[in-house]
Amino acid sequence: MPNTVHQFRVGGRRASDEVSHAQLRQLSAALQTIREHERTHIARELHDDTAQLLTLLRMDLALLMQNKSLAPDAIDLIEGMDKNLMGAITSVRRIARNLRPRALDEGGLYYALRALCTEFSERNGIRCGFFADEEELQLDDALSTAAYRIVQEGLTNVARHAKATEVSVSVGRSNHHLLIGIADNGKGIDPVDMEKPESLGLVGMRERVWALEGDISIGRNEESGTRIDISLPVPG
């Protein structure tokens, strides 16, 4: 009888742990959704309000430049202000794009990922190949956003840690699943590295995948570098 009671308690604790873990996953998914809504709101305000205001100020400076009575020092000052304003507009648009790319709303996942890969390559000097079929990436907003964030986090990890010269991103559909592959030719990753505090990007990626009841595999390529394979169920 004591053994029976002991087994019951262990089983009950294990069931309780599984419920708690499931609840944490649900909470994580809810927080991800809330954060995406906040990002979308802030991105639109930055793009529609702040960036447009800075653009109007730049137009006013252009009108001032047409005043032929201005002293050379004033012209130099205005030109410097115009350069700074252009830099501020570029920064605001970049921040807004990182928060919520307009291409995701206007063109869909295919164009958003293509733009992400192009920008990644230009900014980091790492060749980035993108392989996908536009028709296969016609997805609902929740899955499109999750897929975009997963690829974004994967590329960020490549830029920060991989020491790679090239990376490839492939996205497609098979048997009611969205398949995402990210592979680089960098130094590779060890299993212990995935649990380090600085590997928060990988942790966040896994949480996004698990919240969607998907699967993720992270490991070394056969030749060199790291490969991430993700499978997400497509509703309907």
Quote the CA–CA distance of 174 and 49 in Å, as a whole number: 41
The third-level CATH classification (topology) of the domain covering 103-233 is: Heat Shock Protein 90 (3.30.565)
Computed on alpha carbons and rounded to an integer, the radius of gyration of the chain in Å comes to 24
Quote the CA–CA distance of 168 and 127 in Å, as a whole number: 8
pTM of the model: 0.68
Q: What are the residue ranges spanned by the domains of the chain?
A: 2-99, 103-233
**What are 138-160's pLDDT values in tens digits?**
999 889 988 998 999 999 999 98
Partner residues linked to 226 by β-bridges? 220
What is the token pair recorded at 75?
Answer: 């012209």
Strands (E), 71-225: 127-132, 166-174, 177-184, 215-220
Q: Which of 80, 233, 42 is nearest to 143 (CA)?
A: 233
Q: What is the pLDDT of residue 135?
A: 93
